[in-house]
Amino acid sequence: MSSLRIQCPKCQAKAELSIDAEAEMILLNCFKCKSPILYFHGETTLVDEVEMGKIQGESMKAIEGFLKTHPNSDEAESFKNNSQTHEVGEPVSDHPISEEDIADLKIDLHYSEDVLDFLKKI
Protein backbone atom coordinates (compact mmCIF):
# COMPACT_ATOMS: atom_id res chain seq x y z
CA MET A 1 0.00 0.00 0.00
CA SER A 2 1.31 3.38 -1.01
CA SER A 3 0.85 6.52 1.08
CA LEU A 4 0.79 9.99 -0.50
CA ARG A 5 0.68 13.41 1.12
CA ILE A 6 -1.41 15.83 -0.88
CA GLN A 7 -1.96 19.57 -0.35
CA CYS A 8 -4.70 21.41 -2.23
CA PRO A 9 -3.21 24.34 -4.16
CA LYS A 10 -6.44 26.33 -3.75
CA CYS A 11 -7.34 26.08 -0.04
CA GLN A 12 -4.06 24.57 1.26
CA ALA A 13 -5.88 21.68 2.98
CA LYS A 14 -3.57 18.73 3.60
CA ALA A 15 -4.50 15.05 3.39
CA GLU A 16 -2.80 11.69 3.39
CA LEU A 17 -4.04 9.26 0.79
CA SER A 18 -3.43 5.51 0.88
CA ILE A 19 -3.87 3.52 -2.32
CA ASP A 20 -3.44 -0.19 -3.04
CA ALA A 21 -1.98 0.19 -6.54
CA GLU A 22 0.94 2.10 -7.99
CA ALA A 23 -0.30 5.18 -9.84
CA GLU A 24 1.54 7.69 -11.97
CA MET A 25 -1.32 10.16 -11.81
CA ILE A 26 -4.30 10.60 -9.49
CA LEU A 27 -7.26 12.85 -10.24
CA LEU A 28 -9.45 13.72 -7.26
CA ASN A 29 -11.43 16.47 -5.59
CA CYS A 30 -10.18 18.31 -2.52
CA PHE A 31 -12.02 17.03 0.53
CA LYS A 32 -12.42 20.57 1.86
CA CYS A 33 -13.11 22.94 -1.05
CA LYS A 34 -14.10 20.28 -3.65
CA SER A 35 -11.75 21.71 -6.29
CA PRO A 36 -10.55 19.19 -8.88
CA ILE A 37 -6.85 18.52 -8.33
CA LEU A 38 -4.26 16.40 -10.08
CA TYR A 39 -1.44 14.62 -8.25
CA PHE A 40 1.42 13.80 -10.61
CA HIS A 41 4.85 12.61 -9.42
CA GLY A 42 4.71 14.48 -6.11
CA GLU A 43 3.20 17.68 -7.48
CA THR A 44 -0.41 18.75 -6.93
CA THR A 45 -2.09 21.19 -9.34
CA LEU A 46 -5.56 22.56 -9.90
CA VAL A 47 -7.50 21.27 -12.90
CA ASP A 48 -9.83 23.71 -14.66
CA GLU A 49 -13.27 22.70 -15.97
CA VAL A 50 -12.14 22.52 -19.61
CA GLU A 51 -9.23 20.23 -18.77
CA MET A 52 -11.46 18.12 -16.52
CA GLY A 53 -13.87 17.63 -19.42
CA LYS A 54 -11.01 16.50 -21.66
CA ILE A 55 -9.75 14.05 -19.04
CA GLN A 56 -13.24 12.62 -18.49
CA GLY A 57 -13.73 12.26 -22.25
CA GLU A 58 -10.39 10.47 -22.67
CA SER A 59 -11.16 8.19 -19.71
CA MET A 60 -14.50 7.21 -21.21
CA LYS A 61 -12.82 6.49 -24.57
CA ALA A 62 -10.33 4.23 -22.79
CA ILE A 63 -13.12 2.42 -20.95
CA GLU A 64 -15.16 2.03 -24.14
CA GLY A 65 -12.09 0.68 -25.94
CA PHE A 66 -11.50 -1.84 -23.17
CA LEU A 67 -15.13 -2.95 -23.28
CA LYS A 68 -14.94 -3.47 -27.05
CA THR A 69 -11.80 -5.61 -26.83
CA HIS A 70 -12.89 -7.50 -23.68
CA PRO A 71 -16.70 -7.69 -23.94
CA ASN A 72 -17.07 -10.80 -21.74
CA SER A 73 -14.65 -9.88 -18.95
CA ASP A 74 -15.70 -9.51 -15.31
CA GLU A 75 -14.77 -5.82 -15.45
CA ALA A 76 -16.99 -5.28 -18.49
CA GLU A 77 -19.95 -6.95 -16.79
CA SER A 78 -19.40 -4.90 -13.64
CA PHE A 79 -19.19 -1.66 -15.63
CA LYS A 80 -22.32 -2.47 -17.63
CA ASN A 81 -24.28 -3.28 -14.47
CA ASN A 82 -23.11 -0.22 -12.50
CA SER A 83 -22.99 2.36 -15.27
CA GLN A 84 -25.26 5.34 -14.73
CA THR A 85 -25.10 8.00 -17.37
CA HIS A 86 -26.85 11.33 -17.22
CA GLU A 87 -26.47 14.77 -18.69
CA VAL A 88 -24.87 17.63 -16.77
CA GLY A 89 -27.49 19.16 -14.49
CA GLU A 90 -29.85 16.20 -14.84
CA PRO A 91 -30.69 14.54 -11.50
CA VAL A 92 -28.93 11.24 -10.84
CA SER A 93 -31.68 10.01 -8.55
CA ASP A 94 -35.24 9.41 -9.68
CA HIS A 95 -36.63 11.02 -6.52
CA PRO A 96 -35.56 14.33 -4.95
CA ILE A 97 -33.99 14.50 -1.51
CA SER A 98 -36.59 15.65 0.99
CA GLU A 99 -36.13 17.95 3.97
CA GLU A 100 -36.75 14.92 6.18
CA ASP A 101 -33.89 13.05 4.47
CA ILE A 102 -31.57 16.00 5.12
CA ALA A 103 -32.66 16.21 8.77
CA ASP A 104 -32.02 12.47 9.21
CA LEU A 105 -28.54 12.82 7.72
CA LYS A 106 -27.75 15.74 10.02
CA ILE A 107 -28.82 13.70 13.03
CA ASP A 108 -26.71 10.74 11.90
CA LEU A 109 -23.75 13.06 11.34
CA HIS A 110 -24.13 14.66 14.77
CA TYR A 111 -24.12 11.29 16.57
CA SER A 112 -21.33 9.73 14.49
CA GLU A 113 -17.90 9.23 16.02
CA ASP A 114 -16.08 9.92 12.75
CA VAL A 115 -16.56 9.93 8.97
CA LEU A 116 -16.39 6.15 8.63
CA ASP A 117 -19.02 5.73 11.32
CA PHE A 118 -21.28 8.20 9.49
CA LEU A 119 -20.78 6.46 6.13
CA LYS A 120 -21.66 3.10 7.67
CA LYS A 121 -25.00 4.54 8.78
CA ILE A 122 -25.96 5.66 5.29
Q: For residue range 47-95, what is the model confidence (pLDDT) as tens digits?
A: 887 777 777 777 767 666 766 777 777 766 666 666 556 666 676 677 7
* Segment among 20-29, 40-49, 79-88 with least mean pLDDT: 79-88
Dist CA 44 CA 4 (whole Å): 11
Q: Which residues are paired to 4 by β-bridges?
A: 17
- Tell me the pTM: 0.44
- Report pLDDT for 10: 93
For residue 2, is pLDDT > 80?
A: no
Dist CA 14 CA 30 (whole Å): 9
- Report pLDDT for 83: 53
